[in-house]
Structure 1
Amino acid sequence: MSISKEIANTIVDPRAYANLARIDAAFTTLRKDAPFEVAEADGFDPFWVATRHADVLEIEKRADVFLNGAGSATLADKAANAFVHAVTGEPNLVRSLVQIDGKEHKDLRAITFPAFTPKALKALEEQIRGIAREFVDAMIAKAPECDFARDVAFLYPLRVVMKVLGVPEEHEPFMLKLTQELFGPNDPDMNRTGKEVTGEEAMNLLQQTMLDLEAYFGEVTKTFRTKPESCINSLIANAKIDGEYLTHRQMMGYYIIAATAGHDTTANTTGAAMWALAQNPEVLRQLKEDPSAMTGFVEETIRWASPVKHFMRTAIADAEVAGQQVKKGDWVMLSYHSANRDEDVFDDPFAFKIDRPIHKHVAFGSGPHVCLGQHLARMEMRILWEELLPRLSEVSLAGEPKLTQSTFVCGPKTVPIRFTVA
């Protein structure tokens, strides 16, 4: 069965991802009837849609055939892709770790990889715990209600990542604003126009945001080349490959992916976790009675949120996937959102269960492009909940949470809660 026009248009619609019932219905139908087929959505080049866990993993492992940088690494319509090619001469607006392959990817990843290992991050644990306590105290002071997304989930991961990067605290609002613009250009609440926009207009807005980020990080480079420090931004500013500093696009892409992906995905997951707790009071009781359940809780919130909804790959050779013939040049969507709700892998996938097998989800990707910051994300979420949950006795929703309108990175932009302090 091929993908219907209705479903094809749904999975490319940013508004659909802000409506869980709508997007889940579309992908559930695809997993059942057309798990790996071509979508032909209005205004878009045709693309294959990998909806099942096994197919997503297989494509990720075949990084020699399915490349990030051979085409757009994120879903964009024809007009947006044409705009990017005209502006950059390349398929992607940014040249970061998620838009490159092979030796370049390996060399760039090696620059900061040592700083993101569990051993290296252990040294930051007490500093992160201090930040968590600061935000927990501020939340408790707002009792009995707050908007957890805006008051905690957006700001706590931002503070952590900015400390790791070496960004001054007074620059955090600027970085939060630009990150939300970068990942939510189609959302009137997030973009700089406050309006609904077309795909091409969204790309134009992204370029404006990119120019602001590049201006900022140009000054960062000057600062850390003059006076190097032991932070991620200093590593990027002073990094060399084969004796040469990174190119302008490599360096700017690195700064941008570290600064934005480093907190926005964690913020979305943290907001979703509180949403799940408010809807499942037995989970809060379980975690308070059995702190050892924390690891399962963190992993389930990552699966549940799946903040990165997709990445795109482009085949550079003919290949077979799920019994289908993919041709050289074909574009493929890896739907992490769908794969993390695959009924063949997850029992009762739409239920929030903290006793699932650990690390089965694909929210951090797999293969050579697996998320560089996954250990930091897990640590900062664990520490926040270790500090917050003992201070809560009850939590419930105080209104309907709202999700960002985005086909790429999506999560709660509001999570109004009512809570009782323990």
Structure 2
Amino acid sequence: MRITAGCTPASAADLADADLFDPAFHAAGDPHAVWARMRADAPLHRQVLSDGRAFTSVTRYADACRVLGDHRAFTSERGSILTQLGHDDISAGQMLVSTDPPRHGELRRPLNGKLTARALADWEGRIRQAVTHFLAPARDGGVWDVAQRAYDLPMTVAGALMGVPESDWDDLVRWTAMAAAPDDETFRVGTSGAATLAIAHHQLFEFFAQTLRTRRTEGPGENLIGHLMTMDAGGAKLSDAEVIYNCYSLLLGANATTPHTVSGTLLALSENEDQLRKAAEDPALIPGLVEEGLRWTSPASSFLRYAVEDTELSGGRVPAGEAVAVWIGSANRDEDVFTDPYRFDLLRADNRHIAFGHGPHYCLGATLARVTFRILFEEFLAGFRSVEPAGPPQHLKSVFIAGMTSLPVVTAPR
């Protein structure tokens, strides 16, 4: 998805013609202009597809928080991703992202302890090693593609946490990219996004099913997969299907979003040299840089919910049964919440972004992501004095993930 420094609101005609369900629009168009118009004039914008399916877009920050935070009024169990529109979610009630409380809490609580700041403290050395490897091509001062290289970064940490052999990491990175953006030519198999998604799901689910069979024989291991196999959730062990679904959910959550905050924040620093300079001069500002990078990139672009009952939002009433798409990138540019929202500002006060979601489904891996980003920018700012684009970025075709497939840059070592 295009990450713009400024925004010219779309005209009424542009708003009528904008197809937010089209992955290509998010790569070639400017959703920020459309979202700005929606926030101002159509905060509940209904789009009907040619096949009769329909969804309502929520673009204001307050409405986004209401929809994501109120599971009684808006359920995640009929699908949590816009591409699932109109199709039942077979993982409902079994996978974290497609399960409402109280079952969601029963699944989540045993995992929380494994991903706290204290639990992850011993992993900082490994994360710093992964970041050093990620930055290796930058040190010769030549052109390197930060977006392409960033796809491999989260797997080096998530793979180790899950106990997945390193020999399988490349396949898992490719399959999760296919699952997150099946319509993008970079990952598509053949000519069909639907076929690409089916292949990705088959490969990932079969991989975790085989892993589960092996560990049932050899022992679960001291890692996240082993924890899923042995933990109690609501007084019972997880079924094999629940273990497999949640292995998929954890891996997709790590691999699908993290790369795009890395590349998108570096692009923002290339366009705002004063911000890079401030962070380099005062490392205490790096946490603020991380939070502004998350707000700016909003890599999890949209979430889907269904209205359980007629519910009033700021733009009117959402009828029971209606599919509601929450646009995170729009909420994180809401003028009523963020002063000068189209300015990248690491000193931004009270940065209440919802890049990690909001409410019961707040990202389980948020702490790990923040640690990874902090270490990455510590290493980058200590080792490099500038980053400059060496070619145009290629934006991802996806309604789910905002990011890039390519961003060639030149980085000047200190």
- Asked if residue 34 in structure 1 is aligned to residue 38 in structure 2, the reply is no
Change (3 A) 1:242 1:95: closer
Deviations 1:64-123 (A, max 9, x none): 111001x22211376xx4xx55xxxx4669952111112221111123111111221122
Change (3 A) 1:379 1:206: same
- Asked if residue 171 in structure 1 is aligned to residue 168 in structure 2, the reply is yes
* Structure 1 residue 247 displacement after superposition: 2.9
Residues 277-316 of structure 1 mapped to structure 2, 5 A cutoff: 277-316=269-308
For 1:392 and 1:219, the matched residues in 2 are separated by 43
Contact 1:318 1:326 in 2 (8 A): yes
Amino acid at match of 1:62: D
Deviations 1:33-86 (A, max 9, x none): 1112322233352222110011111222211111001x22211376xx4xx55x
Amino acid at match of 2:49: A
2:148 equivalent in structure 1? 150
Q: 1:220 aligned to 203, 211, 225, which one? A: 211
2:200 equivalent in structure 1? 209
Amino acid at match of 1:268: H
Change (3 A) 1:123 1:371: same
For 2:246 and 2:340, the matched residues in 1 are separated by 38
Contact 1:14 1:406 in 2 (8 A): yes
For 1:269 and 1:161, the matched residues in 2 are separated by 16
Contact 2:83 2:399 in 1 (8 A): no
- Asked if residue 58 in structure 1 is aligned to residue 66 in structure 2, the reply is yes
Change (3 A) 1:233 1:418: same
SS in 1 for 2:164: coil
- Asked if residue 140 in structure 1 is aligned to residue 138 in structure 2, the reply is yes
For 2:325 and 2:60, the matched residues in 1 are separated by 11
* Structure 1 residue 241 displacement after superposition: 3.4
Q: 2:253 aligned to 237, 253, 261, which one? A: 261
Q: 1:321 aligned to 300, 308, 313, which one? A: 313
* Structure 1 residue 260 displacement after superposition: 1.7
Change (3 A) 1:163 1:146: same
- Asked if residue 76 in structure 1 is aligned to residue 83 in structure 2, the reply is yes
SS in 2 for 1:76: helix
1:98 equivalent in structure 2? 97
2:182 equivalent in structure 1? 185
Structure 1 range deviating more: 94-103 or 380-389: 94-103
2:6 equivalent in structure 1? none
Q: 1:250 aligned to 242, 258, 261, which one? A: 242
Contact 1:146 1:417 in 2 (8 A): yes
Contact 1:43 1:77 in 2 (8 A): no
1:401 equivalent in structure 2? 393
1:271 equivalent in structure 2? 263
SS in 2 for 1:11: coil
Amino acid at match of 1:58: R
Deviations 1:319-362 (A, max 9, x none): 21115222221111111011011111112212211111244111
2:9 equivalent in structure 1? none
Change (3 A) 1:7 1:413: farther
Change (3 A) 1:211 1:286: same
Gaps of 5+ in 1: none
For 2:162 and 2:91, the matched residues in 1 are separated by 24
* Structure 1 residue 263 displacement after superposition: 2.4
Contact 1:95 1:253 in 2 (8 A): yes
1:108 equivalent in structure 2? 107
Contact 1:279 1:397 in 2 (8 A): no
Q: 1:334 aligned to 326, 335, 339, which one? A: 326
* Structure 1 residue 171 displacement after superposition: 1.1
1:10 equivalent in structure 2? 19
Contact 1:307 1:410 in 2 (8 A): yes
**TM-score, normalization: structure 1?**
0.89
* Structure 1 residue 7 displacement after superposition: 4.1
* Structure 1 residue 29 displacement after superposition: 1.0
Contact 1:94 1:253 in 2 (8 A): no
For 1:168 and 1:211, the matched residues in 2 are separated by 19
Contact 1:224 1:238 in 2 (8 A): no
Structure 1 range deviating more: 373-382 or 347-356: 347-356
For 2:179 and 2:401, the matched residues in 1 are separated by 10
Identity value in percent: 29
Change (3 A) 1:48 1:92: farther
2:7 equivalent in structure 1? none
Deviations 1:234-280 (A, max 9, x none): 11233343554423432221011111211221111111111111222
Contact 1:8 1:40 in 2 (8 A): no
Contact 1:93 1:207 in 2 (8 A): no
Contact 1:7 1:26 in 2 (8 A): no
1:372 equivalent in structure 2? 364
Change (3 A) 1:252 1:91: closer
For 1:402 and 1:325, the matched residues in 2 are separated by 38
Gaps of 5+ in 2: 1-11
For 1:213 and 1:249, the matched residues in 2 are separated by 13
For 1:156 and 1:365, the matched residues in 2 are separated by 22
For 1:363 and 1:188, the matched residues in 2 are separated by 26
